[in-house]
Amino acid sequence: MPEIDSGARFRKWVTVLVGIAAATAGVLAFAEAEANRQKEHGLVESARDAQQIFVRLGANTQLLQFSGNATREALAVTLQGAARVRSSKPGQPRAFAIAVAQADKQASDRLLAVVKQMGAVPAHTSGLDPRTADAVRSSVASAKALLAKQNAAAEAADRWATRQEHTIFALGLVAIAVALAGLAGLMGVGRPGRIAAATGSIALVFAIVWSAVTFLT
């Protein structure tokens, strides 16, 4: 009777081990698929944000370059007039230089006003599609916000990739546990069978704990 009870308990142990391993494998397979989906989603979001940053900087850089060059040329007109006054001699030449400098200052002011008007994107742009108009209106601050979003998406993709790798490792441990449970069933009651069943149980518990820690941290 003790041998029969021992054999029954051993078979029950192996049966429970296989059942828990099968359920764990199903949960881990779902977790691995979800981790892969989240990883791909993060990679797509990161790539899309990077593309938007490139488009915004490219569209905005042309406008900023035009405004900077035009402003520099407009200011150069004023500086030339001031330099002409400083280099002129007292008397009629200086009076003429001052008059020319004042005219240059007025011309420079008009040029700056034109540059400001030409460098500004109107609120309603009938000739541009909404995405292009939004890209042209973008600023460095908006690009920084997109960069932070892109970094967050890349970090999320990396985090889910790590979880996927850990889940695959846990699935391997579950497979080992099932193999050891089958080996224990073949060996039957005895020291080798119990060692195989105990080792499989340890591998299964480690796989469950490993997966829980992976997804909870």
pLDDT in single tens digits along all 217 residues of the chain: 444 567 788 888 888 989 999 999 999 999 999 999 999 999 999 888 888 777 777 666 666 677 777 777 777 777 777 777 777 767 667 777 777 777 777 877 777 777 777 666 666 666 666 666 666 666 667 778 888 888 899 999 999 999 999 999 999 999 999 999 888 888 888 888 888 889 999 999 999 999 888 888 7
With tokens 């005895």, the residue in question is 190
What pTM was estimated for this model as a whole? Answer: 0.64
- CA dist., res. 134 & res. 124, Å (int): 11
Q: Token pair for residue 59? A: 């569209």
Q: Which residues contact 108 (CB under 8 A, 6 or more apart)?
A: 74, 75, 77, 78
With tokens 């042209």, the residue in question is 136
Please tell me what DSSP assigns to residue 91: T
